[in-house]
Amino acid sequence: MTPGYETGPTSDRQTSGLGFVGQRVKRVEDERFLIGKGNFVADLTPDGVHHAAFLRSPFAHARILSIDVTAAAALPGVTRVFTAAELNALTNPIPPFFMADGVYTPLYSCMSEDKVRHMGDPVALVLAESRYVAEDALELIEVDYEDLQPTATIDQGLDTSREQLWELADGNVLADTSFEFGDVDKTFADADRIITRTFECPRQTNQPMETRGCIVLVDPDSGHLELHNTSQAPHFLKWAIAALLVNDGAVRNLSTFLRNKERRKAFSSASKEFLKTNIDKLKSSDPAGQKAQLSKDKSMLRHQARMAMGLLAAEDYPTVKAGDIGGAFGSKGSVAREDIAVAAAAKATGLSVKWIEDRVENLLDGGQAREERFTVSMAVDEDGTFRGLKVDAVLDQGAYPAFPISGVATLLFWKVYMPGPYDFGAFQLNGKIVATNKGKVVPYRGPWANETFMRERMIDVVAAELGMDPGELRAKNVLREETMPAALLTGPTLDETMSVAKTLDHALSLIDNDQLARDKAAARERGHRLGLGIASYHEAAPGPPNFFESIQPGSDMFLYEDGRAEIQADGRIVMYTSQSPHGQSHQTTYKQVAADEFGVSMDDVEIVWGDTDRTQFSFLGTGGSRGGPLGAGVMRVTARELRRQVAAVAADMIEASPDDIEIVDGNIHVAGVPSRGIGYRAVAAKVARETGIADGPVFAESMKYEGVGNGGWSTATHVAWVDIDLETGMVEIPRYLVVEDCGPIINPGIVDGQVRGGVAQGIGAVFYERHHYDDDANLQSGTYMDYLIPTSMEIPDIEIEHLETLTAGENDARGVGEGGMIGAPAALTNAVSDALGVQVLEQYLPPHRLLELAGVIER
Amino acid sequence: MNLPSIRAAIGETISVTTTINGASRRFDVEPRRSLADVIRDEAGLTGTHLGCEHGVCGACTVLLDGEPVRSCLMLAVQADGTEITTIEGLANADGSLHPIQQGMYDAMSFQCAFCSPGFLMSAVALLRDNPNPSTNEIREELSGNLCRCTGYQSIVEGVETAVRIMGAQQ
């Protein structure tokens, strides 16, 4: 360290003596990142690996008449060229995952052989000695396409006279659902006023700085696959690869399976175990979704048997490893079609294969989001009381449903979230999904977030109609602890963690209205307009125990998080998480949590993640703001249990009662007598001697964790100040305030980073980013010259206030990863509306649009 | 392109000599290979990252004869006879961090850190030319690098922290 410069708490040094949790401890991850020693997938180039490149459709919608790969295959350096048909024969179609009443999910393969449905649709795969040669070969593949009519917009998607993307659908409408809570007709009939608006949200794309990528290594003897992948959910990828690669080994069909006694036994015991654990949840699951799917397409049943063949024995599953991941924001939670194709190609050839997506591919189909339309009717009384909410929503899913989390999940989240933290008496959602010839929609940081945009924007519209102050109107209707019902209208239970009112009250107290009036006048003098906007919201992070049940009955079997703690024979502490971090600093926070439980330094704890051979199964991996509450929660309870076991052995060794044991700085001793203490190494050595374990864990505990309490809500209010130059249409954000409540904070430096990063993406969404397709569904924003990610010149400093509401008893941290992005678009568009004195009905406001809204230029 | 012209482009190599992080290196490279690919694949210095490969995101920024350049937009053959510094060349031989690394560490500047090599190299060039930049100057200089995680505030603070460290060292 430099003399005269103080660095603050680090992983081997705390400053307060109160433990690591709650402190702004420096990131352990940075110890490798800042010297250029990260472990990203593209950094790995195993000897003899072959490089993959995909030929992609230049058309939005076309029939493939023929494909000729002869010249490409003859190019020196090319190992193998696969057509779509060849790879599809080696794989099973991607099945529906979330099924719901009124929903049809088209099945599709990893490659497109008959028809392409968006620009970038993969039609052939080349393996070559280098990526350069692989891309050369793409130029030599000849494909004859016959144009089909493209569907480019929500309006076209709703028009049933257009060419269908999927022949079994009703036109291009894949979902037509309706949900109702309370008596909507009566509530609307009784209310003083009904106010209706339609809001448009254009397409965005997640755009992590690292693209997707997959390396598949093939064991030459066993054929076992090892995938190195950018996956947010390595275990789900492992499951999917096993299920989707055709198992052409010993088990080809049911009769050979039944003759294979070992596999039959393994399958039968695994199914019994699964049924025993999940019987109640399976019984409560809603069969309507499956019925809706089968009424359109029964092929799922045919493929299920074939898929099951890949899932029967441990050796059928690949190993998946995820090292450092360069961001995802939801886009790396899906199983990529390319992952399946590359794994099938590696398996078929026995060659190790590396595919690193390039940025253009990522913009074409690496994950898109949020193109949605909402027609909202709010029933209100003249005094501003909210009565009822009715929403007709349409989601433009693009060509292929993401797997596993498609637009259907967004509809189901809307159903629960839309009324927000307000006291509505009745709510109805009519939700549709349309298929269009565009890249696929994936979860993007709060996948449901546009419900907050449309609701909070609508509240400002209502305030203007009633002549009320938007802040006061929110304060009047927000759920307050004193009068809070036991549950939301849409089902999930509530406790004091539903603290939106506290964040709103505190935010309002930090607005100086006199100063605002002066600033508005000063802006006007300069030819600018200044405005202020507010938005409030809550999110389930992780939510109450019945949250998933409210989303879809039966789906809460995926709620829990697994964890494992071990103490090795040499005394090392090793913690295993099923999370797959990609920027959220899990390694640092989990070390903080475990170190405090064990009474050691953070450097004494090793965190293991991202290796499916070493960590426990998890469908979800990292996503849904679960890493703090459930991921850190299971680290805490598992470490605590193991500490108890260690203390019991140590107490015996130093002839004391386990209850009197204290552990400080790794010294296990009787409270008050630190000089007679022993270390973890000594305790481990004793157990190792007694059990004969020389290498491996001498203490080990695996646990499942579902969180505590009946709330688990993370809440916030955002306030944006926006200054618009009426000459240029350029925007400045002189102040941006977030008052958030994610409960007890493990590391404020990390939480602040999550909040700011989310707000930055919200600022991008409103003022800079639009993933634009033209009327023929040709992508117009296919590079970073056209898709504008905001820079350090556009994103202001963000002011953050933490409330940290606690419930009685032990509290989990509550999630904070998604919130920033959920609140920002509403706060910013409300501020623009205030500045310009018009009610903005769209989310994307580039300079020319602001000048149109201001009346400076004509549309 | 047709097959003969592609065949002609493949295989021919040119010898390139550069100094990378103080060590002299010789590579035989195809004329079309980018500098970034040679740094990553031939020199094995994977700390330099490729984010967009079209010159916008800046993750591939290295110092070429002291000036920050996009290594994805340069051909390796253009780097013949030059001196290159990558993120791996910032720390001292004894492992102690460069002030910009220490500043970014203390400010908890990054999250996924995929963009970090570009920001570090841009910041090194900035502070060499302007050891006491204003916040606006820092923001302007770093606006050629994209970060999707942080909202930039912590990165700006990291540069400001580096300025303080360099001040304390003098």
* Percent share of chain B, pLDDT over 70: 94
How confident is the model over A744-752, as a mean pLDDT? 98
Distance (Å, whole) CA A718 – CA A27: 27
Whether B17 and B79 map to the same domain: the answer is yes
CB A67 within 8 A of CB A124: yes
| CB proximity A445 to B under 8 Å | no
- Supply angle C-alpha A205, A452, A532, rounded to 5: 100
Among B residues 103-162, those touching chain A with beta carbons less than 8 Å apart: 104-106, 108, 110-117, 120, 138-140, 142-156
pLDDT for A697 beyond 60: yes
When pLDDT is cut at 50, 70 and 90, the band that residue A262 belongs to is low
The CATH number assigned to the domain holding B118 equals: 1.10.150.120
pLDDT in tens, A706-726: 999 999 999 999 999 999 999
Instruction: Please tell me the predicted confidence (pLDDT) of residue A1.
Output: 47
Whether B16 and B83 map to the same domain: the answer is yes
pLDDT in tens, A7-54: 788 988 776 678 999 999 999 999 999 999 999 999 999 999 999 999
Query: How many separate domains does chain B show?
Result: 2
| CB proximity A47 to B under 8 Å | no
Neighbours of A776 (CB within 10 A): 15
Within-domain flag for B2: no
Whether B111 and B84 map to the same domain: the answer is no
Secondary structure of residue A678 in the 3-state scheme: strand
Cβ–Cβ below 8 Å for A35 and B90: yes
Structural domains of chain A sorted by starting position, each given as residue range(s) with its CATH number in brackets: 471-553+710-859 (3.30.365.10), 560-705 (3.30.365.10)
Residue of A nearest to B104 (CA): A34
Q: Which residue has the higher pLDDT, B44 or A11?
A: B44
pLDDT in tens, A196-228: 999 999 999 999 999 999 999 999 999 999 999
CB A608 within 8 A of CB A615: yes
A63 strand-pairing partners: A115, A146
Task: For residue A787, list chain B residues with Cβ-Cβ distance below 8 A.
Answer: none
pLDDT for A134 beyond 80: yes
When pLDDT is cut at 50, 70 and 90, the band that residue B8 belongs to is low
* From B50, B56, B150, residue closest to A753, measured CB to CB: B150
Within-domain flag for B5: no
How confident is the model over B121-137, as a mean pLDDT? 98
Burial of B18 (0-12, 13-18, 19+ CB in 10 A): buried
Within-domain flag for B4: no
Instruction: Please tell me the predicted confidence (pLDDT) of residue A13.
Output: 79
Nearest to A727 by CA among A527, A529, A520: A527
Whether B55 and B123 map to the same domain: the answer is no
Whether B74 and B108 map to the same domain: the answer is no
CB A126 within 8 A of CB A78: yes
Contact partners, residue A855, CB within 8 Å, separation at least 6: none
Q: List the domain range (segments joined by +) for residue B41.
A: 12-89
Whether B128 and B69 map to the same domain: the answer is no
Q: Which residue has the higher pLDDT, A372 or A247?
A: A372
Whether B83 and B121 map to the same domain: the answer is no
| CB proximity A789 to B under 8 Å | yes
Within-domain flag for B72: yes
Within-domain flag for B6: no
CB A324 within 8 A of CB A40: yes
B116 Cα to chain A: minimum distance (Å)? 7
Cβ–Cβ below 8 Å for A583 and B52: no
- Residue at which a domain ends, from B48, B70, B89: B89
- Residue at which a domain ends, from B59, B89, B119: B89
Whether B78 and B144 map to the same domain: the answer is no
Instruction: Please tell me the predicted confidence (pLDDT) of residue A186.
Output: 98
* Percent share of chain A, pLDDT over 70: 94
Whether B55 and B103 map to the same domain: the answer is no
The CATH number assigned to the domain holding B60 equals: 3.10.20.30
Render the burial of A572-587: b for 16+ CB within 10 Å, e for the rest.
ebbbbbbbbbbbbbbb
When pLDDT is cut at 50, 70 and 90, the band that residue A744 belongs to is very high
Among B residues 82-111, those touching chain A with beta carbons less than 8 Å apart: 86-88, 90-91, 97, 99, 101-102, 104-106, 108, 110-111
Within-domain flag for B7: no
Secondary structure of residue A168 in the 3-state scheme: coil
The torsion of the CA quartet A834, A837, A840, A843, rounded to 10 degrees, works out to -40
- Residue at which a domain ends, from B89, B119, B150: B89
Residue of B nearest to A206 (CA): B148
Cβ–Cβ below 8 Å for B149 and A7: no
Cβ–Cβ below 8 Å for B53 and A750: no
Gyration radius from chain A CA atoms: 28
Task: For residue B154, list chain A residues with Cβ-Cβ distance below 8 A.
Answer: 752-753, 756
Average of per-residue pLDDT values in chain A: 94
Instruction: Please tell me the predicted confidence (pLDDT) of residue A311.
Output: 76
- Note the ipTM here: 0.96
Residue of A nearest to B31 (CA): A132
Within-domain flag for B1: no
DSSP per-residue letters across A383-445:
T--EEEEEEEEEEE--SS--SSS-HHHHHHHHHHHTTTTB--SEEEEEEEEE--SSPPB---S
Task: For residue A34, list chain B residues with Cβ-Cβ distance below 8 A.
Answer: 87, 97, 101, 104-105, 110, 113, 116, 120
A795 Cα to chain B: minimum distance (Å)? 6
A432 strand-pairing partners: A176, A394
Among B residues 22-61, those touching chain A with beta carbons less than 8 Å apart: 30, 32-33, 40-41, 45-54, 56-57, 59
Instruction: Please tell me the predicted confidence (pLDDT) of residue A250.
Output: 43
Strand order in the sheet with A799-802: A528-540, A713-725, A731-741, A799-802
Whether B17 and B74 map to the same domain: the answer is yes
| CB proximity B3 to A under 8 Å | yes
Distances (CA, A) of A798 to A342, A427, A719, A820: 42, 34, 10, 10
Amino acid letter, residue A268: S
Whether B83 and B104 map to the same domain: the answer is no
Instruction: Please tell me the predicted confidence (pLDDT) of residue A619.
Output: 82
Instruction: Please tell me the predicted confidence (pLDDT) of residue A518.
Output: 98
Within-domain flag for B3: no
